Chains A and B, each alone.
Chain A
Amino acid sequence: MKKKFNLPVRQLATVGAFALFLLLGNFLMAKKIIGLYYTKVLMVAAINMILAVSLNIATGFLGQLPLGSAGFMAVGAYTSAIIMRKVTFVSPALAFPVCIIIGGLAAALCGFIIGLPALRLKGDYIAIITLGFAEIIRIVILNIDSALGITLTYGASNLKNIPKTTTFTNAFIWVFIVCYLVSALMKSRHGRAILSIRDNEIAAESCGINLTYYKTMAFIVYAFFTGIGGALYAGYLGILNPSGFSFAKSIDILVMVVLGGMGSMTGSVISAAVLTIVPEILHAFSDYRMIVYSLLLIVVMIFRPAGLMGNKEFSMDMLTGLFKKKAKGERSKK
């Protein structure tokens, strides 16, 4: 399909729109039109966006179902938090981006270690092995201190006093970076290879695509970005407890991806925002939140497996396309 706008224009427009969003957000916060509470909700939404977009790489683009997002998140969160606590001699604003990336790398390493054996196999092993991995990570974080007689993760008694360095601005800058990198990856040769594996493994393999290589690569990218989400989470909350990284957390993220549409990055972003903000508004129904989530999973799968967005992306072309259609429709009415 031919794009209506050429690349530099589109990129410039995207960056411009994003900058405008940040400025507007900060302006509204400075004017107290958006209170501290909603600022925090938006920050949580940003972190969820990163988590959902990265799970979408593995689920939507690669077609595998890892259930261990919480584990990779924990690795990223704990790694970056432990380093942040140690490097008090550097200003947090400087140390934070570095720590986030280290957190992501640590998660990526774990992704490599467990992805390689699991992804060689056909079948649903990746689901159960990542679930098991998340459980192992949780147990290690809980017990490593007492087993080795050190104070590293503080186990159940919470890792406290983590500098609260996540802000509205840097959280959304990371959302932007992650989205940009993911869309760049998916438009590249590697991205097409990953998509072809999802659509038909056997055909992809017979076209000379190295299945294990590309599967592991996509899986590592997923782990890396999930780790980054975890690091931002640590910087947001300032305190970590292993119980926060349970199976339920992984499912929350999966629901976002499924609702947004497996294979649509913008779909994940939108549904992460919706599923963070709506429960805050509909607080009276919090009893039913988990039931609604589980029904969402079932109903979406049976009646609209493509989710909200399918595998389409929300883009400028789509917007202009809409307006043109509308205009055309109005003209034809006359």
Chain B
Amino acid sequence: MSTFSLIIKQIINGLQLGSIFALVAVGYSMVYGIIRLLNFAHCDIIMVGAYIAWFFMTNFANMPIIAVVASILGCTLLGVTIEKVAYKPLRSSPRISLLITAIGISYLLENTAQLVLGAAAKKVPGFFTAETIRIGQVTVSTASLVTIAVLAVSMVLLTLLVQKTKLGRAMRAVSEDAETAQLMGTNINGTISFTFAVGSALAGIGSVLYCCAYPQVSPTMGSMLGLKAFVAAVLGGIGSIPGAMIGGFMIGLTEVFVSAIGLSTWKDAVVFLILIIILLVKPSGILGKTVSEKV
């Protein structure tokens, strides 16, 4: 294998990993943008989505589309339910209460999954019949190409949704200033629920892509993924959708690069170091805008 194809391969590895981070990071970013909550449960929504995909793939292996639709619907429903049951009653509470509740939800989902489904990982059957594709000298797995393509399409659709539709305008208005938006006649609760629904649906897509790339599901699979995705969101600029994508790709490529130079055991540390450095140097992230404190 030539050095050139080695580098190409590593870049594709990084983009694939980065795409999944990006999809998860967008969910964090949207929720943080609208209610200033670090939604710890987001990563566990992905875990639930992956289990749904696992369930349908094991039982209806010849129809992957069922698994895809079920995961996305399941995640959306779960995200909205969590918002209604756990976060809505706390809308006027101090932020710390909201954060603790989010941790509680995350822990509840993880431990329930562990109790019901066991701590051991489950194998997800393959989604594609042709597992690899040859392009010139380089063999690429189908999963990585599909992952990158799906991410690109979702990002375009999401940007259109946020920029061009009425609901998207409401989302932007609420995240800018919730009280004023309410005075202007925006339905705050509906908009927040809608944001959760969109973020969770993306998490559902992310969970399916995750299962394609890394065909195992376990109760704790979401925790590290979620943390790194959050770092990606902060790196790209929290609240910004293109930012989350750039952040995701950067974290993915960094991880692969660090592993490739033989420091794989340090890669988690490197990711968190990036977080600390970015907060020191430019807390608003690459594409984020600095917000002045309102009194």
Contacts and interface: CB of A to CB of B under 8 A. Distances in A.
A touching B, CB within 8 angstroms:
yes
A82 to B, nearest CB: 20
Contacts, number: 115
Given A139-B265, A302-B90, A293 B107 contact: yes
Interface in B229-278: 230-231, 234, 265-266, 268-269, 271-273, 275-276
Nearest to A125: B279
Contacts of A287: 115
B115 A302 contact: no
Interface in A122-143: 122-125, 127-129, 131-133, 135-136, 139-140, 142-143
B181 interface: no
A293 B103 CA distance: 11
Nearest to B88: A302
Interface residues of B, number: 44
B183 interface: no
B293 A122 contact: yes
Q: Tell me which of B37, B106, B279 has the highest count of chain A C-beta atoms within 10 A of its own C-beta.
A: B279
A124 B99 contact: yes
B230 A136 contact: no
Interface stretch (A57-65, A98-106, A230-238, A324-332): A57-65
Contact of A143 (B230, B265, B271, B275): B265
Contacts of B276: 114, 117-118, 129, 132-133
A65 B40 CA distance: 13
Contacts of A142: 265
B154 interface: no
Contacts of B90: 301-302
Nearest to B228: A132
A294 B293 contact: no
A131 to B, nearest CB: 7
Q: Tell me which of A124, A140, A293 has the highest count of chain B C-beta atoms within 10 A of its own C-beta.
A: A124
Contact of A133 (B97, B112, B223, B272): B272
A297 B104 contact: yes
Given A143-B266, A202-B293, A294-B107, A123 B227 contact: no
B101 A136 contact: no
B275 to A, nearest CB: 5
A136 B96 contact: no
A129 B268 CA distance: 13
Given A143-B266, A202-B293, A247-B223, A298 B96 contact: no
16 contacts: A117-B280, A124-B36, A128-B38, A131-B227, A132-B275, A132-B276, A135-B227, A136-B268, A143-B266, A202-B295, A294-B111, A298-B86, A298-B104, A298-B105, A298-B108, A302-B86
Interface of A: 59, 63-65, 67, 114, 117-118, 121-125, 127-129, 131-133, 135-136, 139-140, 142-143, 147, 202, 247, 251, 254, 258, 262, 287-288, 290-291, 293-298, 301-302, 305
